[in-house]
Homo-oligomer: A and B are copies of this chain.
Amino acid sequence: MSKDLLNRVLTGDRRAVARLITLVENNSSKAREVLAALFPHTGQAHIVGVTGAPGTGKSTLVNELAKAYRQQDPPPCVGIIAVDPTSPFSGGALLGDRIRMRDLSGDPGVFIRSMATRGSLGGLARATSDVVKVLDAAGYEIILVETVGAGQSEVDIAKAAHTTVVVEAPGLGDDVQAIKAGILEIADVFAVNKADREGVEHTVMALEMMLDLNHASRPALHHGDLMPFESSSLSPDDVPGWRPCICKTVATRGEGVPALLEAIQAHRAYLKETHTLSQRERFRVEDELCDILGHLLMCRLMAHVSPGELAHLVDRIVARELDPYMAAETLLQVGETSLGIGGAL
């Protein structure tokens, strides 16, 4: 049965893909089994993260990007994962979905899936990463992962993508806010969408200035090492670093989208030529591994702590009799004792 599902996913059967994704979302043990079996078939797709603040027109841009990819010869299969980490309330995602569906649903080479938070951000990030694997193994060569919001969610998605597109738009706030949004560090390519609006040159200029500034003070992020902003040239031949390029787009009319697609492909080519693709993949894998590990550790410990014990400790903290760090130490000991182990783990 699992084997059957695996084989159907590997041949790209859409219904099997949809079914496996549902199993992944429900965190079923069957999903784990199938995912382990299809893992050797992953690693082929170009994972493109698309992110930015609300109101920038990300969803429309992602749709247009998918269409542009599908016009290539030969047309790659495109998977779209729309992740909404901001809310357990899925109204927005559903509405966005319907708009999207109308536009792309006729194309059998495009697979679309929305994911909304059902609990923790960590759980959503893990599920998203697994859905990427499913689509990758099913033969989707381009996987567009769209996130809503501005914050850690973006950084997490960027870690999971090979190329990250940050979408900006004119008139969403003043300069200080643009700096505060602070997702410049994760951008490989900028799309300034709604470029028919007033203020577009101002936005482009502000981004250029930020990139110049970034050149002076390199961020202490993993990605900083992969994207040393050491030159303003785009050519990977004469420079050691990649400077994010800025593409102006009007997604509602499809304007500037082919150039954006080219920039994304140029980044992919750059990563390959400079062997930073494999470096980036290593960072990505390390992050994912640590995340899974933390999750498993908590699950195991919590399986040995009774709700009563936990409630009692919470009571004592609320009463200010015990501080949270001491309570955590106590729980670690409970876990150790009840397992009959005396170690320091």
Shortest distance from the beta carbon of A169 to any chain B beta carbon, whole Å:
9
Find chain B residues with CB under 8 A from A292 CB: 324-325, 328
Q: Cβ of B179 and Cβ of A92 under 8 Å apart? A: yes
Known: A55-B173, A293-B332. A148 touches B182 (CB 8 A): yes
Find chain B residues with CB under 8 A from A99 CB: 176
Contact pick for A294, options B172, B178, B294, B336, CB 8 Å: B294
A274 touches B (CB below 8 Å): no
Q: Residue among A182, A221, A317 with the most chain B CB within 10 A?
A: A182
Contact pick for A54, options B150, B185, B217, B304, CB 8 Å: B150
Find chain B residues with CB under 8 A from A326 CB: 36
Interface residues of A, dominant DSSP: helix
A329 touches B (CB below 8 Å): yes
Find chain B residues with CB under 8 A from A278 CB: 318
A276 touches B (CB below 8 Å): no
Distance in angstroms between the alpha carbons of A301 and B181 in the assembled complex: 34
Shortest distance from the beta carbon of A112 to any chain B beta carbon, whole Å:
16
Q: List 8 A-B contacts (CB under 8 A).
A: A55-B173, A84-B182, A86-B150, A86-B151, A92-B181, A289-B313, A304-B345, A336-B345
Shortest distance from the beta carbon of A187 to any chain B beta carbon, whole Å:
12
Find chain B residues with CB under 8 A from A117 CB: 152
Contact pick for A301, options B88, B174, B310, B345, CB 8 Å: B345
A93 touches B (CB below 8 Å): yes
Find chain B residues with CB under 8 A from A91 CB: 179, 213
Q: Cβ of B298 and Cβ of A172 under 8 Å apart? A: no
Shortest distance from the beta carbon of A333 to any chain B beta carbon, whole Å:
11
Chain A contacts to B: CB under 8 angstroms: 32, 35-36, 39-43, 53-56, 84-89, 91-93, 95-96, 99, 117-118, 121, 148-155, 172-174, 176-185, 213-214, 217, 219-221, 278, 281-282, 285-286, 288-290, 292-294, 296-298, 300-301, 304, 310, 313-315, 317-318, 320-321, 323-329, 331-332, 335-336, 339-345
Shortest distance from the beta carbon of A166 to any chain B beta carbon, whole Å:
12
Q: Cβ of A85 and Cβ of B297 under 8 Å apart? A: no
Distance in angstroms between the alpha carbons of A337 and B87 in the assembled complex: 41
Find chain B residues with CB under 8 A from A285 CB: 314, 317-318, 324
Q: Cβ of B176 and Cβ of A219 under 8 Å apart? A: no
Shortest distance from the beta carbon of A80 to any chain B beta carbon, whole Å:
16
Q: Residue among A84, A294, A304 with the most chain B CB within 10 A?
A: A294
Shortest distance from the beta carbon of A330 to any chain B beta carbon, whole Å:
10
Q: Cβ of B185 and Cβ of A88 under 8 Å apart? A: yes
Find chain B residues with CB under 8 A from A219 CB: 88-89
Contact pick for A95, options B151, B176, B281, CB 8 Å: B176
Q: Cβ of A85 and Cβ of B345 under 8 Å apart? A: no
Q: Cβ of B310 and Cβ of A286 under 8 Å apart? A: yes
Contact pick for A39, options B323, B331, B332, B341, CB 8 Å: B323
Q: Residue among A152, A154, A173, A317 with the most chain B CB within 10 A?
A: A152
Contact pick for A43, options B41, B320, B327, CB 8 Å: B320
Q: Cβ of B318 and Cβ of A289 under 8 Å apart? A: no
Find chain B residues with CB under 8 A from A293 CB: 298, 301, 328, 331-332
Q: Cβ of B173 and Cβ of A54 under 8 Å apart? A: yes
